[in-house]
């Protein structure tokens, strides 16, 4: 039986790395992981804390053009913990990023990045 103990990283496909960087760095405030290896495609890695990372990969998307559900909670997604969901809402509002509240009643919301990847943000103490 494997001893799975944490999520190490999640990888998302993006079509325009510069546009994605603006979203993940300027809007969400993520910090770049400085030691991304030399890979044969453009990308960026971000530190999420606790040794966890988010990897952006500028590669062709096999799902391009597919129809996505309006509410991100009904779509494949990654969930990121945040300490202040109100502050995140303010940043998303200022950037004109649409989001929906979690339908479970939790302090959580869903949005999509510029490539329609779904992100969930769950408030933790």
Q: What is the structure's pLDDT at 34?
A: 95
Residue 1 has pLDDT above 80, yes or no: no
Tokens of 87: 């502050």
More confident of the two residues 119 and 71: 119
Residue 63 has pLDDT above 90, yes or no: no
**Model pLDDT for residues 8-20, shown as the tens digit of each residue:** 999 999 999 999 9
CA–CA distances in Å: residue 61 to residues 2, 106, 115: 31, 31, 9
State the DSSP string of 12-49: EEES-HHHHHIIIIIIT-PEEPTT----SS-EEEEEEE
pTM (two decimals): 0.91
> Domain 9-123 carries which CATH code?
3.10.180.10
Q: What is the structure's pLDDT at 88?
A: 95
């Amino acid at each position: 039986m494997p001893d799975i103990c944490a999520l190490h990283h999640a990888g998302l496909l993006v079509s325009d790395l510069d546009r994605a960087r603006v979203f993940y760095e300027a809007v969400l405030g993520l910090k770049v992981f400085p030691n991304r290896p030399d890979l044969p495609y453009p990308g960026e890695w971000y530190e999420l804390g606790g040794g966890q990372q988010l990897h952006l990969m500028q590669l062709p998307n096999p799902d391009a053009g597919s129809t996505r559900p309006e509410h991100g909670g009904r779509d494949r997604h990654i969930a990121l913990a945040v300490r202040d969901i109100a502050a995140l809402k303010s940043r998303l509002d200022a950037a004109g990023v649409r989001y929906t509240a979690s339908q479970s009643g939790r302090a959580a919301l869903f949005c999509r990045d510029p490539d329609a990847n779904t992100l969930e943000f769950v408030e933790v103490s």
